[in-house]
Amino acid sequence: MASEVKVPTLGESVSEATLGEWLKQPGDAVAVDEPIASLETDKVAVEVPSPIAGVMGEHKVAEGATVEVGTVIAVVEEGGAAASSAASSAASPAPAASKADAPTKIAEPAGDGDPDDAPEAPDDQRRAIDGSSGKDGPADREMPTLSPAVRRLVLEHGIDPSRVQGTGKDGRLTKEDVLAAAKKQGEAPAPAPAAASPAPAAAKSAGGERAEERVKMTRMRQTIAKRLKSAQDTAALLTTFNDVDMTAVIAARTRYKDLFEKKHGVRLGFMGFFTKAACLALKDIPNVNAQIDGEEIVYHDYVDVSVAVSAPGGLVVPVIRNAEALSFADIEKTIGDFGARAKAGKLTMEDMTGGTFTISNGGVFGSLMSTPIINPPQSAVLGLHRIEDRPVAIDGKVEIRPMMYLALSYDHRLIDGREAVTFLKIIKDAIEDPTRLLIDL
């Protein structure tokens, strides 16, 4: 008996998605509720579970296709007869040749892979990536499924993917896994290719051969592009800057971080300070926490802070609800949970719905200064940057202090320059004197 697999409900106002990747192929054994496909919506990736235990049947939809809620995308055959047959067939001597003839499927990327040129690997390495055995016999182990972006990194760094433990979904390799393996490999000399092997990639590149890869944008990346461009086209964007002396916050963090972690089970980071400082400033300058709706201004008496988090498919902004009422520990726990679930692809639509103000920390990637773009319908975004020792004048003397640039991008239709400057000044004062956060100044 076969059961149909349909596109599940994806969330409020979301009616369609893109079939990003098949996690199970026809003939594969599946357990009840085991993910068999990954769908990409405008904001998150959603796994489609198997309704029954059995064997994966026909794929009704190809990868990359747009599907609506309720669409039948596959069938699962009940029982394990086909799986047992496939297993016994795999144990026979014949399958080695067929396995060599059938390269491992290359999955669509979870994120936006760079289209940089990728050097060509020697035969043995390329066979490992493609899943084929070459002239010397069948491959001796099951080769992992690789996305185009991961495949490019494997080729560039000369990594054998079958010898790297994947940390992604279902043990698949991620970019981070390949980069870690490349770092571990370090400066160890690569094994000399066999005499029959083709010339290395460098020699081929010198001969004029240049590779390109064309990858379809994920639905999430398309949505990010549309929303950011829409923000530029609709809002009157302006950015104002300030800098802040991080000495007091660094001292407080150094002094209390061990006690904080021991008591609350989470590390004390800088985001807790800036989130609390932002809540303080938003209370005094309510326009920064408001939004334009037609010819009306909507003011919020709560602060839902969208925190920009890096995920495999791109930048996502889960929301810290009622941040003004949360403690430092609650904020740090929430941010830590968002980061872990974003990396694992476990964020939900509800996690990213709403938000009245955004904080984006480009400093973790080394950014010195930027002009962030607002996340509509919000009216402002605070950009944090790297901490850098710089000479500053303190009481008439030059001292070296850990300084950070702050950037506030805002919709000038709603927020005046005076309000934007005042907002940043409140945050600057609170960070340079964290006692203000405790006494609401």
Q: Could you name the CATH architecture of 235-439?
A: 2-Layer Sandwich (3.30)
Neighbour count for residue 83 (Cβ, 10 Å): 18
Residues forming a β-bridge with 419: none
**Pairwise CA distance, residues 50 & 30, whole Å:** 7
Active site residues: 412, 416
Q: Which fold has domain 1-92?
A: OB fold (Dihydrolipoamide Acetyltransferase, E2P) (2.40.50)
pLDDT at 98: 40
Domain span(s) for CATH 2.40.50.100 in the chain: 1-92
Which pTM was predicted? 0.60
Domain span(s) for CATH 3.30.559.10 in the chain: 235-439
pLDDT at 293: 92
Query: 56 near 27, Cβ under 8 Å?
Result: yes
Interhelix angle 270-284/247-264, rounded to 10 degrees, is: 110
Q: How far is CA 192 from CA 121, 129, 140, 199, 418, in A?
A: 12, 18, 21, 11, 66
CA atoms within 13 A on the CB side of 270: 22
Residues of the chain with pLDDT under 70: 11-14, 42-44, 80-149, 152, 169-170, 186-207, 312-314, 441
- Residue for token digits 């005094």? 284
